[in-house]
């Protein structure tokens, strides 16, 4: 637990710090969301247990759907 506290203390983006948002942040976050969705698909949805258990598969698909919604939301908020 002490190691975790040390890592959190080294976090680049402390919630108390104000980071000025720029246009690049939108595409950066969309990219990261896409990476997470691909990872869930490739390593969780394609896992044999997920393929054989509909309840588990549904929960993971729901999570991917929520991430897709977030991806779309970020994309719609990109300044023109």
Instruction: Quote the pLDDT of residue 17.
Output: 76
Prediction pTM value: 0.77
* Gap between the Cα atoms of 38 and 51, Å rounded: 16
* Gap between the Cα atoms of 56 and 47, Å rounded: 11
Q: How far is CA 34 from CA 65, 67, 68, in A?
A: 12, 8, 8
Instruction: Quote the pLDDT of residue 30.
Output: 98
Mean pLDDT for each consecutive 10-residue tract of the chain (80 residues)? 62 72 97 98 98 98 98 97
């Amino acid at each position: 637990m002490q190691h975790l506290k040390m890592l959190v203390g080294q976090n680049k983006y402390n919630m108390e710090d104000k980071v000025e948002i720029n246009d690049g942040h939108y595409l950066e976050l969309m990219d990261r969301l896409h990476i997470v969705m691909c990872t869930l698909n490739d390593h969780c949805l394609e896992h044999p247990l997920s393929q054989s258990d509909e309840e588990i598969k549904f929960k993971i698909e729901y999570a991917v759907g929520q991430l897709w919604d977030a991806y779309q939301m970020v994309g719609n908020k990109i300044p023109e």
